[in-house]
Amino acid sequence: MQDVMEKLVELGLKLGAGFIDVRLLDGISTAIRIVDSKLKVGAASNNKGIAIRAFIKGSWGFASSSNLERENLEKMVQNAVTMAKIVAKQSKITFDLADGQSIRKHFPLNVKIKVRDIDISEKVKYLETIDKQAKSFDNRIVNTNASYNDRELVEYICNSNNSFIELHSSNIFVISANYSHEAGVRQRGYRSIGESRGYETIYTDTANNLGTEASKEAIELLSAKSAKGGTFQVLLNPQIGGVFIHEAFGHAAEADAVIAGESILENKIGLKIASDYLNIVDDPTLEGSYGSYRVDDEGRLAERSMLVQNGVLKNYLHTIETSSRLNMKGNNGRTEGFTSYPIVRMSNTHILPGDWKFEEMIEEIKEGIYAQGWIRGYTDPSTGVFMFKCAKANRIKNGELCELIKDTAISGDTLTTLNLIDAIGKDLAFSPGHCGKAGQTVPVSDGAPTIRVKSLVVGGLE
């Protein structure tokens, strides 16, 4: 296939493309879902297709297909180049792409147990175990939901930078989301695990206790008191802190939003936007993390990006296009699959740990909130306004953790909150998930240590 892909690149250049890349994806995946002990989804899929992208004077043409016949592939090149020419004639924006590196490398699959080697019946059996432990935890658990997804992928990338890359990858993601009910009160408990590894992920204690831990949280929340609204000093645990940094800051740091004038971080490179000791990175090179990759979908080697250093904004996240237009560095072009084109995406976005112990952070709080986990939320990268509903919280009084509370939400604006962070813990932790943007969804992880914010608006039912 290498010879075919290289000839397609040659054809694109002959037809007038200034840059062209060809991506061939061949993947297998499994999706299983069990709801209230009934198997709702049990599917094993094979997905193979090709994507071709051509660049001319600041404009792109794109074509994709699952038809790998030579005649069709050549027609796709012609279509991509023709579309790029048409767009270029109508566009008022022109620019050249920065010179790209030539990478000719094979990246083998680095897992202990291939997901393709595990029969689907064993995967179903594992998920049934999660469902049973969730259901049997307490008779007040009235609804159980468990899902399992895995994917093993081979991606070939060939482009006019003289690159040819063969990249093997694998990931796995499991959740347990269960609901409790008592005396008219209904609560949810949620646990997940996601890694860029093989089936060995399932043989961990975390993976084998998801149902129990999710149901335990759902039961505990039945007796929790309602949150009191107001403005408080707040501790954010790693889960809600990670969501804040992904949603409220990370999307604003995506360079396509900056170029479109839809980011609060526009024109702020080199400026202080946060507390002096706050450091934020996006790092796709973290081994095994759910958002990790070794090469992005534009054929560039993955690199750690320092976004904020000691409170100063240092960089945005980039595709080939945005890094060329802004004369910056970044390797963050990702796609959902062969039917999608690369756009700016996060990977493992997180706050670097500080040197505070949890006990030190809480002892100075006279009246506050310890916010944990999240259920849903809202952010606007153009204004910085955010709101997140927490999975649960505790009141803090006179430096001590007090009663559990429910129905808690935090809100504020991003830049103000970044400057109000006055303590950062040592306990960095990550949460896996899926980030949607422009109709595409990709695996990500977000993370943070426990962080203390001087003042946040807390919403509640009291």
The residue assigned the tokens 């404009």 is 59
Q: Which of 69, 53, 42 is nearest to 19 (CA)?
A: 53
The residue range of the domain holding 110 is 2-223
Burial 147-172 (b: 16+ CB within 10 A, else e): bbbbbbbbbbbbbbbebbbbbbbbbb
- Pair (311, 434) in one structural domain: yes
- Pair (179, 51) in one structural domain: yes
Q: C-alpha angle 441/279/249, rounded to 5°?
A: 40
Please tell me the predicted confidence (pLDDT) of residue 460.
Answer: 65
Cβ contact 395:210 at 8 Å: no
* Cα separation values, 74 from 25, 79, 81, 179, Å: 17, 9, 11, 53
* Tens digits of pLDDT across the chain (462 residues): 899 999 999 999 999 999 999 999 999 999 999 999 999 988 888 999 999 999 999 999 999 999 999 999 999 999 999 999 999 999 989 999 998 999 999 999 999 999 999 999 999 999 999 999 999 999 999 999 999 999 999 999 999 999 999 999 999 999 999 999 999 999 999 999 999 999 999 999 999 999 999 999 999 999 999 888 899 999 999 999 999 999 999 999 999 999 999 999 999 999 999 999 999 999 999 999 999 999 999 999 999 999 999 999 999 999 999 999 999 998 999 999 999 999 999 999 999 999 999 999 999 999 999 999 999 898 999 999 999 999 999 999 999 999 999 989 999 999 999 999 999 999 999 999 999 999 999 999 999 999 999 999 998 654
Two tokens, residue 314: 């240092």
- Pair (367, 416) in one structural domain: yes
- Report DSSP state, residue 254: B
- Pair (247, 165) in one structural domain: no
CATH of the domain at 156: 3.30.2290.10
- Pair (377, 231) in one structural domain: yes
- Pair (194, 237) in one structural domain: no
Please tell me the predicted confidence (pLDDT) of residue 417.
Answer: 97
- Pair (87, 156) in one structural domain: yes
- Pair (162, 285) in one structural domain: no
- Report DSSP state, residue 94: -
Cβ contact 23:156 at 8 Å: yes
Total tally of structural domains belonging to the chain: 2
Q: Which of 156, 422, 110, 96 is nearest to 277 (CA)?
A: 422
- Pair (178, 69) in one structural domain: yes
Please tell me the predicted confidence (pLDDT) of residue 33.
Answer: 97
Please tell me the predicted confidence (pLDDT) of residue 227.
Answer: 82
- Pair (170, 268) in one structural domain: no
Q: What's the burial of 435, exposed, middle or buried (CB within 10 Å: 0-12/13-18/19+)?
A: buried
Please tell me the predicted confidence (pLDDT) of residue 236.
Answer: 98
- Pair (177, 247) in one structural domain: no
- Pair (134, 234) in one structural domain: no
